[in-house]
Structure 1
Amino acid sequence: MARIKLEMPENTIAVITIPVRITDINYGNHLGNDAFVAIIHEARMQWLYRHGYTELNIEGTGLILADLVVEFKNESFYGDIIEVSISVGEISKVSFELFYKLSTTRDEKNILLAQAKTGMVCYDYAIRKVASIPEKLKSIL
């Protein structure tokens, strides 16, 4: 089976730190894959919040997650502080890619935990249709 290999853009637009909670730990005694996805979501929400937005309201337009890719690289454990670097990939009329690099520092070493990409589509929830990316969102991308 071919492994996924993400090409990470260098244009970091935000860095968010999120601590690993005890409830994020699975039966393998490390961060569960579902918790990695939740941390990616939280980082995106914090980035939007910094700009006065939510996923339901960006200048009257919302967002829908169209696709998600995660490359798991190393385990993460309770007590880790995960640094999530967010960068932007392709931008179209109605959608854009966000890339996430998740890392932590442990024993004075920077450890890459995961890399991920989400495809985000702008959506008008009132009329249940795809919408154009608002100009103010384009400017922060």
Structure 2
Amino acid sequence: MARIQIELPEKFSFYTEIQIYLTHINMARHLDNSALIGLLSEARARYFQSLGYQELDVEGVGIVVTDAALQYKSEAFHGETLVFAITPDDFNKYGCDLMWQATEKTTGREVARGKIGLIFFDYAARKPALIPGAFMARLGNLA
């Protein structure tokens, strides 16, 4: 089976720090893979909050994660702080990818990288929605 290879963008537009707690550690004494997904979900929520949105209300529509891919680069341990870098990429009329990278704060060691595919979703109509123009304008103003 071919290994997943994820190419990162040259720069990211958002950074947030999240500490690894004991509950994030597995029996092998390193960051559990399911815990990394949870930390990434927190980082994604913080990204939208930094833009002035909640994940269920981005200009009147929500988001839905459609796919995710990740590539591990090194272990991470209890007490370390991960810096999650995020930036949107590969836009289509309904959504985009959020590219991300997690590095250990003190050493800069890369822990993992990946992408989250998402679409905008009208929860009242239960169907995909076009990317809100005001959301795109906000991204343009922050670039």
- TM-score for the superposition, normalised by structure 2: 0.93
1:135, CA displacement in angstroms? 1.4
1:62, CA displacement in angstroms? 0.3
1:127 aligns with 2:125: yes
Name which of 111, 115, 128 aligns with 2:109: 111
Gaps of 5+ in 1: none
In the TM superposition, what are the counterparts of 1:14-93 in structure 2 within 5 Å? 14-93=14-93
Identity %: 32
Contact kept, 8 Å, 1:66 with 1:121, in 2: the verdict is yes
Q: Comparing 90-99 with 9-18, which one deviates more in the overlay?
A: 9-18
* Bigger fraction of residues in strand: 1
Contact kept, 8 Å, 1:10 with 1:87, in 2: the verdict is no
1:131 partner letter: A
Distance across 2 between alignment mates of 1:81 and 1:139: 32
1:83 partner letter: V
1:37 partner letter: I
Q: Comparing 39-48 with 131-140, which one deviates more in the overlay?
A: 131-140
SS in 2 for 1:8: coil
2:21 partner letter: R
Contact kept, 8 Å, 1:11 with 1:88, in 2: the verdict is no
Gaps of 5+ in 2: none
Distance across 2 between alignment mates of 1:23 and 1:42: 15
2:41 partner letter: H
- TM-score for the superposition, normalised by structure 1: 0.94
Corresponding residue pairs, total? 139
Distance across 2 between alignment mates of 1:138 and 1:35: 31
| Distance of aligned partners of 1:23 and 1:115 in 2 relative to their CA distance in 1, 3 Å threshold | same
- Which digits, 9 at most, give the CA deviation of each residue in 1:41-65, with x for residues without a partner? 1111011112221111101010000
Distance across 1 between alignment mates of 2:53 and 2:64: 14
- Which digits, 9 at most, give the CA deviation of each residue in 1:50-103, with x for residues without a partner? 222111110101000000001011110011110001022200111101011000
